[in-house]
Amino acid sequence: MKKLLALLVVLLLLAGCSGGTADNGGGDTADTGAKEVTLQVPADIMSMDPQLATDGQSFSAQNLCFAGLYQLDADGNPVPDVAESYDLSEDGCVYTFHLRETYWSNGDKVTADDFVYAWQRLTDPATASDYNWLLETANVLNSDCYDPESGHVPADLGIKAIDEATLEVTLTQPTGFFLQIVTFPSTFPCNRAFYESVGDQYCLKLDNILFNGPYKMVSWEQGYGYSFEMNDKYFDYENYNGKYCDKVNFRIVADTQSALMDYEAGNLDYVSLSGAQVKANEGVDGFQARLGSYNFYLLININYIAAGANQATANLNVRKAMAYAIDREDVCNTLNDGSIAAGGIVPYKLAANPETGADFREDAGNLLEFNQDKAKEFFEAAKAELGVEEISIDLLYSSDQGDPEINAATRIAAQLEEVGFTVTLNPQPKKSRLNVYQHVNDDKTANFEISLTRWGPDYGDPQTYMDLFWSTNTSNNNGGYMSDAYDGYLTVAEAAGTSAIDRWNAFIEAEKVLITEDCAVIPVYQNGGASLVNPNMSGIEFHSASVDVYRHLIVK
């Protein structure tokens, strides 16, 4: 049966692939003929609605077919997109964006009101976006309107259309990473009239999506894949046409061996490799290994424990036992894909010291230690405090996001068992795992004990991780962590009058409280990415913050 399924996948892919091969080296020329590429992904898009999406795969797809005020260049710097330029007030708090003449795929002009409406949707409690906090992070005026207790409503948001081509955004304080925020898909525009015409069916099928980016989505077959073709309504179409690929296909192939077979058969131009495939392919033309930006960690249910449920994770000694029990280097050796041991919740190569340029991890140090003897000591202390002879832990993780996550969860479980824990593996599709977290946000009880999860940075600053664990964060603090000390450091870091270096140091101290003192989360590894890329293809842009970009693919 497996062979038959693999053959069917190959035949289906053959019908839609480029037939070429690709390298991600960054070439700048292309033939004038039509070019098409096909890239492997392990799972489907979760949402095409920019204001509702939460996962990197959806964000990367949206980046192809929607355009925001700014976009990221190959080096991760914000550069103009729909906004041709901006003016900044002397106090650094008012941005006035001047928009280009560009159009939606139905011929409507993209206007400043499309951004106003999108940002209001993002923060409207009725939308229930998991990214409703993003504009507050960017210090947009009255952006706390997603919280009914704030007294603000979306109409109070500090964004207004001066005219069709002029957008004004008011911040409460200067924000150095603001332009990075407006490259993020959650801030992409929404055509008010079109949205109201399709209602709750918006972005659920192709007929109910409008596009204003360089590509438009032309197919989306759940469980099989999705495709994009160049959009002639995009303002930069003349530059794209003939230079970049005419069509970009994504094919869902979860099994890494089947995916590799398809790549070797010429049916795929990009494929991710599992750790077991790395050694055999290291010398193959097109092999690439890179350090990713996702930090994988154990999210621990501390304060959202339902009555009658396992209370163990609320115990500090239990959490310390788990933290010391994990051999991160061993986990990374198991993955064998370029992943590295985490040093804290903030990943390596994310942000630089504003005075010295040192990496955050260099300044903050490695806060994590593998010490099985210490782990056993804390485990015994926990048993004594809890008055039990056995401590059982349920480990929730995603079963449909590829082999690395599955292998990491299995190895972590084995390491916890070596110090005495009884671990039950609880694999769930990612959507189901996220639904567990939504249950947390709805009624402050959580149907999980520990969960292997990940966070990819939305912008290049420690705040993108640190804000996850504010006691008042109702969207992402899914374990119910509450610490006056932690909140205090973040309050200092994010206050308007705090200097850049004092802000940096406050984040360092906050991370120590989170990881070392409270063991509220247990970082494990920063993901790597081993892949094969068609030597004739270039232009995939992997970013240490925000989303990976596929807008500039070139086939020689």
Q: What is the distance between the alpha carbons of residues 220 and 229, in angstroms, rounded to a whole number? A: 12
Does 393 have pLDDT greater than 90?
Answer: yes
Per CATH, the homologous superfamily of domain 291-529 is Dipeptide-binding Protein; Domain 3 (3.10.105.10)
At 439 the pLDDT is: 67
How confident is the model at residue 19, as a pLDDT?
A: 33
Q: Say which range, 22-36, 155-169, 331-345, 433-447, has the weakest mean pLDDT.
A: 22-36
Give the type of residue at 486. Y
- Helical spans, DSSP H, in 419-462: 430-443
pLDDT at 300 over 70: yes
pLDDT at 177: 93
In this prediction, residue 140 has a pLDDT band, given cuts at 50, 70 and 90, of: very high
pLDDT at 99 over 70: yes
pLDDT at 544: 82
Question: What is the rounded CA–CA span in Å between residue 102 and residue 286?
Answer: 37
Domain boundaries along the sequence of the chain: 66-200, 291-529
Look at residue 6 and tell me whether its pLDDT is greater than 80.
Answer: no
Q: Give the residue with greater pLDDT, 17 vs 286.
A: 286
Instruction: Write out pLDDT tens, residues 51-89.
Output: 999 998 999 999 999 999 999 999 999 999 999 999 999
Is the dihedral angle over the CA atoms 411, 412, 416, 419 positive or is it negative? Answer: positive
Sheet holding 166-170: strands in order across?
Answer: 83-88, 94-99, 166-170, 159-163
- The pLDDT, as a whole number, for residue 431 is 84
66-200 placed in CATH 3.90.76.10: yes
Percent of the chain at pLDDT > 90 equals 79
Q: Model's pTM, two decimal places?
A: 0.83
Do 116 and 169 contact (CB within 8 A), yes or no? no
- How many CB atoms are located within 10 Å of the residue 297 CB? 22
From first CA to last CA, the distance across the chain in angstroms is 38
Q: Give me the pLDDT at residue 29, please.
A: 35
Query: Quick check: 27 pLDDT over 70?
Result: no
pLDDT value, residue 17: 37
- Could you tell me the CA-to-CA distances from 376 to 98, 186, 216 in Å, in that order? 61, 44, 55
Q: What is the pLDDT of residues 226-262, one digit of tens each?
A: 999 999 999 999 999 999 999 999 999 988 899 999 9
User: Residue type for 183, please?
Assistant: T
The percent of residues in the chain predicted with pLDDT above 70, rounded, is: 93
Whether residue 169 has pLDDT greater than 90: yes
Q: Rounded to whole angstroms, how far apart are CA atoms 32 and 30?
A: 6
Please tell me the predicted confidence (pLDDT) of residue 22: 34
Segment 138-151 shows an average pLDDT of 94
| 338-366 average pLDDT score | 96
Q: Which of 189-198, 442-451, 459-468, 536-545 has the lowest mean pLDDT?
A: 442-451
Residue 310's pLDDT is 87
Query: How many CB atoms sit inside 10 A of residue 412's CB?
Result: 29
Quote the pLDDT of residue 59. Answer: 96
Question: Residue 331 pLDDT more than 50?
Answer: yes
Q: Report residue 108 CA to chain centroid gap.
A: 31
Q: Are 417 and 423 in contact (CB under 8 A)?
A: yes
DSSP-derived secondary structure letter, 79: E
Contact 540, 27 (CB under 8 A): no
In this prediction, residues 510-518 reach a mean pLDDT of: 98
Q: What's the pLDDT at 475?
A: 76
341 and 329 Cβ atoms separated by less than 8 Å: yes
Between 473 and 449, name the one with better pLDDT. 449
pLDDT the model gives residue 529:
87
Residue 397, CA distances (Å) to 44, 104, 225 in order: 17, 39, 23
Amino acid present at 525 = Y
Considering only residues 404 and 466, tell me which one the structure prediction assigns the higher pLDDT: 466
Query: Has residue 191 got a pLDDT over 50?
Result: yes
Judge residue 370's burial from the number of C-beta atoms within 10 Å of its C-beta, 0-12 exposed, 13-18 middle, 19 or more buried. middle
Cα dist. 425→112, 296, 305, 342, 422 in Å? 49, 17, 19, 22, 10
φ, ψ for residue 350, nearest 5 deg: -100, -45
Return the closest-CA partner of residue 79 out of 95, 92, 68, 90. 68
The C-alpha atoms of residue 441 and residue 462 are separated, in whole angstroms, by 24
Q: Give 13's pLDDT tier (boundaries 50, 70, 90).
A: very low
Mean pLDDT of 201-227: 97
Give the tens place of pLDDT for each residue, 520-547: 999 999 999 899 999 999 999 998 888 8
Across 33-37, 190-194, 434-438, the highest mean pLDDT is recorded for 190-194
DSSP state of 352: B
Type of residue at 212: N
Is residue 124 a contact partner of residue 150, using CB atoms and an 8 Å limit? no
Position 305 scores a pLDDT of 84
Residue 476: which pLDDT band, with cuts at 50, 70 and 90? confident
Burial of 424: CB neighbours in 10 Å, binned 0-12, 13-18, 19+: exposed
